[in-house]
Amino acid sequence: MSSSKVTIKEVAKMAGVSIATVSRYINKSLHLREENRRKIEKAIKELDYRPLVYARRLAGGRLNTFGLIIPGYQGIFYSFYALKIIREVAAALDEKEIDMHLNIYRDRDIFNSSLVDGVIMADLIDNKDQLLRLKKEGTPLVVINRKLSDEDINFVAVDNHKGAYEATEFLIDHGHKNIVHLAGDTEVQCACQRIDGFKAALKKNGIKERPNSVCLTNFSRARAREELDKLFSSKEFPTAIFCCSDEVASEVLNFADENSIEIPEQLSVIGFDDNPNISFQNMMLTTVRQPLTRMAKEAVKILKQNIDKELPSQKVILEPKLVIRDTVGFQK
């Protein structure tokens, strides 16, 4: 008999127990007699029975699977942030012996919440309606890398404003006044927070913003290159650049190498992420470290707590850290 056609009723009949008892076994209930457990295990093996995940969810059971939804922005499979989040969430779930169901959101909301016990959403880009739909369905949720002050939803975010402020002030403390921020996509909350932190540091230190103080790159190397061409074709080019990501910072370092601009003597550079793969002529990048491992672990912990027991929403903001290395020098 095909395992897909075997029903819970047939398992119960062969084991000589009730359907409810088989259901408790499938949902890993602790309140089950050992004798019945053995009978059910024997029947399942002989019949090659495989319970439908939909049936288990509808019956109020656990699937032991968490969803991870990541917005499918351009270059996602080359993104340090996206790949790091996928690895760290998977590792945190593996420690708890929980499976991961990965979904890349691209324009259409096709995620089936009946396949998972709860969902971690890695930021929101054009998919807030998906978040609200999952919330309406009663799916336990945690959003990472985004503050949700106006929603009763769990989140674990980074203080991007503080990270950008400290990076910019570090450049100012090294004598830099003509500082440019190569910013991310302003549709993304973290990019806006980094812009605000950058501007706040300039204002606090009495440095007037220039027309080109903030240049939008949308986290793209190609857009970063376009902005760099414009900046360094002007009469007075910057002495320091604070970048929205380490990937963009890497493009700055490549540009400097191609144009014989000395790092950090002529140009200081700070990134954001702490990607260990970014280096330049045996120099390591000064950057702002995001606690992505901790973010993933906190999200998994909070989601598991909310699945096990209904709790008030938790709003966690983690501290970034300025990592001082080789790419910032004093402005003479």
269-314 pLDDT tens trace? 999 999 998 888 889 999 999 999 999 999 999 999 998 887 889 9
Q: Which residue has the higher pLDDT, 124 or 292?
A: 292
Q: In this model, does residue 253 exceed pLDDT 80?
A: yes
Q: How confident is the model at residue 50 (pLDDT cuts 50, 70, 90)?
A: confident
Domain with CATH 1.10.260.40 in the chain: 8-58
Q: In this model, does residue 247 exceed pLDDT 90?
A: yes
* Alpha-carbon gap, residue 151 to 129, rounded angstroms: 13
178 contacts 238 by C-beta, under 8 angstroms: yes
- Both tokens of residue 315? 């709003």
Closest to 96 in 3D by CA, of 296, 317, 291: 296
Q: In this model, does residue 114 exceed pLDDT 90?
A: no
Domain with CATH 3.40.50.2300 in the chain: 65-159+292-320, 160-290
- Both tokens of residue 171? 């450049």
190-233 pLDDT tens trace? 999 999 999 999 999 999 999 999 999 989 999 999 999 999 99
Q: In this model, does residue 26 exceed pLDDT 80?
A: no
pTM of the model: 0.80
Mean pLDDT of 51-79: 74
Roughly how many angstroms between the first and final C-alpha of the chain, as a whole number?
82
179 contacts 171 by C-beta, under 8 angstroms: yes
Query: How do beta strands 268-273 and 286-289 pair?
Result: parallel
Which CATH code for domain 160-290?
A: 3.40.50.2300
Q: Which residue has the higher pLDDT, 276 or 243?
A: 243
* Alpha-carbon gap, residue 328 to 263, rounded angstroms: 8
Average pLDDT over the chain reads 90
CATH topology of domain 8-58: 434 Repressor (Amino-terminal Domain) (1.10.260)
Q: In this model, does residue 31 exceed pLDDT 80?
A: no
Model pLDDT, residue 59: 54
pLDDT > 70: percent of the chain:
94
Q: Does domain 65-159+292-320 have CATH number 3.30.70.260?
A: no
- Both tokens of residue 158? 């980074």
- Both tokens of residue 296? 């993933």
Model pLDDT, residue 124: 87
* Alpha-carbon gap, residue 86 to 205, rounded angstroms: 39
Q: In this model, does residue 48 exceed pLDDT 90?
A: no
Cis before 264? omega within 30: yes
